[in-house]
Amino acid sequence: MIKGFKDFLMRGNVVELAVAVVMGAAMTALVASFGAAFLNPLITLVTGGAEVGGEFTVNGVVFPYGVFLNGVLVFFLTAVAVYFVVVLPMNKLRERFAPKAEEVDEVHAVAEIEVLMEIRDLLRQQQGRDVLRQQNRS
């Protein structure tokens, strides 16, 4: 039972889905607050101060490019954190517990031979039926 559970968890797609759900649900508030508390003020400070930093106006329309830069930085930081906290350790675990390539090749070779033998036997049976049909027609 535990081996089956371990095999289920070690599947790549299950882990990737879990990472996506956890990241989407648990990190949303943290990332938003980080962007609002640190990145927006930093972008505003670097791009011109409190009044014009992070946006420009054309014909009375405001373009807040600081919000976009904030989003890009937050995305990058989140991706780095997910990689180093979840993906990298998971890959190390997978390498440690995954069967060696030789073992997998050996199992596949045996399975391929069995399937090929079944195909051969079925083809012989079908050929035997075809020969009987031709003899009955004659």
The model's pLDDT over 7-65, given as tens digits with 9 standing for 90+, comes to 776 766 777 777 778 777 677 777 778 877 887 788 777 776 655 556 778 888 888 87
Q: Which two structure tokens, joined as six digits, stand for 116?
A: 């090929």
What would be the CATH architecture of the domain defined by 2-98?
Orthogonal Bundle (1.10)
**How do residues 70-106 score in pLDDT, each as one tens digit?**
788 878 887 888 788 888 888 888 888 876 666 666 7
What are the residue ranges spanned by the domains of the chain? 2-98, 100-138
Cα separation, 114 vs 94, in Å, equals 29
Burial class of residue 7, CB neighbours in 10 A (0-12, 13-18, 19+): exposed
Q: How long, in residues, is the chain?
A: 138
Tell which phi-psi region holds residue 53, choosing left (phi > 0), alpha (psi between -120 and 50) or beta.
Answer: beta
